[in-house]
Structure 1
Amino acid sequence: MSTPMLLVHGGAGGISDARVPGKVQGMKLALKAGLPLLMPSKKCGGIEAGSALDAVEAAVRAMEEDENFNAGYGACLNSDGNVEVEASIMEGSQLRAGCVTLLHDIKYPITVARHVMERTNHTFLGGESAQKFALANGAVQLSPGSLVTPSACEALTLFKKQQSEGKDTTYAATELDTAVKERPGEPGTVGAVAIDVKGNIAVATSTGGITGKVPGRIGDTPLLGCGTYADNKWGGTSTTGHGETIMRFNLAQKILANIRYGNMSAQEATEVACKEMTERLGGTGGAITIGPKGDIGFAWTSRRMAWAYVRDNEFIYGIDQGKVLKEPFE
């Protein structure tokens, strides 16, 4: 028997002060959406165990609705000014997973990813085939441009301005290398990791990618071992940050390898992997992790990362390095 835990993140990168309150409130709402599905409940005179898979999907769906995050509504725009979203979900008991990419005008891409896992013999669908699959399986088709927000448009305008001025728009800011330039798009991939009372671990991650990306670009989020991975034996992790760097480093798999082969806690495994990635490749990022026994970890090399969880009716969260904040979970 394990103690249920749900850990969420709202993205790593150059999070402006103006965005902090919205991200904190959004993570709280995500936890409120996911926790009831994770905790055991009384049903028909018996006790029904909660589901880590249901919890992470619900938590990410809540953040996909929130313009304070880079997933679904409020997602980053590509160079043509359009939203292309991607997501992945994985459960650690049988290592089943579903991944989607290059969806447009679709609500709740994380649910489309789950449908790929549960309703097909495949793991990954992309492009127009993924779009058709989503609609055939009940996804909501939004009118063109419905996911575009003013802040995303402003970020794209700034991105193009910096490009025209010859400035580096490649990486987010990092504590390890202050010379690295900050991306204007404020990377804000969302993710959730959970363990339920049965010890089952599940992970869900969703994103709009990076501002100014070439249409058709695929990032780390839908790639298993990069943006998402879950294995009941070793843990689960969801990553965020500069996707090209995370893909090259295989960040999610590196974190779980640290637990498996390095006998590290979830916290140490996450810290070591994120630091090594940035030291070797220059790009920044972060991750949240739950170990096989339910211990948690969160670390990042970006300037900021939004993360949160609930323990003993306390909402525990953070944005800045070294600062853990607490308040009643109401």
Structure 2
Amino acid sequence: MQVIAQAPVTLLVHGGAGTLRRADLSPTQECEYREILDQALRAGQTLLLQGGTALDAVVAAVCVLEDCPLFNAGKGSVFTHEGRNEMDAAVMDGATGQAGAVAGVVSVRNPVLAAQAVMQRSGHVFLMGQGAEAFARAQGLALEGPEYFHTAHRWQQLQTALAQNQVMLDHDGHRSQGQPAPEPIDRKFGTVGAVALDAQGHLAAATSTGGMTNKMFGRVGDSPLIGAGTYACDATAAVSATGAGEFFMRGVVAHDIAARMAYGGLSLAEATQATLHEKLDATGGRGGVIALDRHGHYQLAFNTEGMYRGVVQGEGPPQIAIYRD
């Protein structure tokens, strides 16, 4: 009788993909990004090593990233055309198939906690706008005024976008020396996310974002859409995506990876690469995913120049990377 060893607890995080080149980040900036990714990984790792669930681990990791102004989620969210911060988030539990999501929230300090509350306490999957706000308030979640989410860097991005009459994606080269650029200053996707495998062999995923700079009123991307930007199923994989959301929505990217494993018998690596090639590369979409299966196999895949990303397994130290090489 063959004995299959239990895979070590595993946590992956991402903080967005895009044109991330070494020349675009100063050593200080790179250290700041690496430090917060390390904090997010360790927050989730601690829970997993204590016997916590995969769901608790991904929520804890994403909360760390939402509280940091460096990423386009929570405190660091970008501004809409009207100068507001409208945030989306989702979670999914691979063990139960339960999921929760919120969209267009403006005062919830940690949208991922609101998504978790929707899953566990509302009887629904998706709440949006004022309804999501009222629900979060009723659940006693921390709320903040507009000043909490207002960061100078994001405000300047909006002014640039308004001047150029463009909708801007986050994370695509800081160009801190002020050199003129023929393309938008920021072409990076700052969505944050996490996927985890716990000691019981269960998977979970969470994703959170502020969307696009200068986005239209009411625009919702892939992050809170179950199957598009967030998905988890113990039988296949947990996936969190970052990128040009419209492509991920049309390709149902997160679920497509799991479906290729379930129906086609592909490995996680094969399914991830096939989905990125057929659903993103072939259609002009840009971005990436973090994906994890119940055996502890994982993928941090993207078709851009870089992706803020990291992984930790068992009691080992976090491994963090930014650039393609």
TM-score (norm 1): 0.87
Report what 1:7 is aligned to.
12
Q: Which string of whole-angstrom CA distances, capped at 9 and with x for unpartnered residues, describes residues 265-315 of structure 1?
A: 323322221232233321201000001322101111122111101245232
Structure 1 portions without partners, runs of 5+: 42-48, 174-179, 324-330
Structure 2: distance between partners of 1:33 and 1:170:
28
Q: Does 1:34 align with 2:44?
A: yes
Structure 2 portions without partners, runs of 5+: 1-5, 173-181
Q: Which moved more, 1:307-316 or 1:137-146?
A: 307-316
Q: Indicate the SS of the match to 2:222.
A: coil
**For residue 131 of structure 1, what is the amino acid of its counterpart?**
E
Q: Indicate the SS of the match to 2:55.
A: helix
Report what 2:265 is aligned to.
263
Change (3 A) 1:287 1:182: farther
Structure 1: distance between partners of 2:37 and 2:168:
28
Report what 1:99 is aligned to.
101
Change (3 A) 1:183 1:255: farther
Q: Is the 8 A contact 1:12 1:285 kept in 2?
A: yes
Q: Is the 8 A contact 1:277 1:284 kept in 2?
A: no
Q: Which string of whole-angstrom CA distances, capped at 9 and with x for unpartnered residues, describes residues 29-57 of structure 1?
A: 10121111111x4xxxxxxx321111001
Structure 2: distance between partners of 1:113 and 1:318:
28
Q: Does 1:316 align with 2:324?
A: no
Q: How does 1:1-330 map to 2 (within 5 A)?
A: 1-15=6-20, 16-18=24-26, 19-39=29-49, 41=50, 49-163=51-165, 184=186, 186-311=188-313, 313-321=316-324, 323=325
Structure 2: distance between partners of 1:297 and 1:181:
30
TM-score (norm 2): 0.88
Q: Which string of whole-angstrom CA distances, capped at 9 and with x for unpartnered residues, describes residues 248-272 of structure 1?
A: 1111011112222333332332222
Change (3 A) 1:36 1:314: closer
CA-based RMSD = 2.2
Q: Is the 8 A contact 1:171 1:284 kept in 2?
A: no
Q: What is the aligned length?
A: 306
Q: Which string of whole-angstrom CA distances, capped at 9 and with x for unpartnered residues, describes residues 75-113 of structure 1?
A: 111111110001000101110011000100211110111
Q: Is the 8 A contact 1:171 1:181 kept in 2?
A: no
Change (3 A) 1:29 1:169: closer
**For residue 86 of structure 1, what is the amino acid of its counterpart?**
D
Q: Which moved more, 1:301-310 or 1:53-62?
A: 301-310
Give the drift of 1:185: 5.5
Structure 2: distance between partners of 1:98 and 1:309:
24
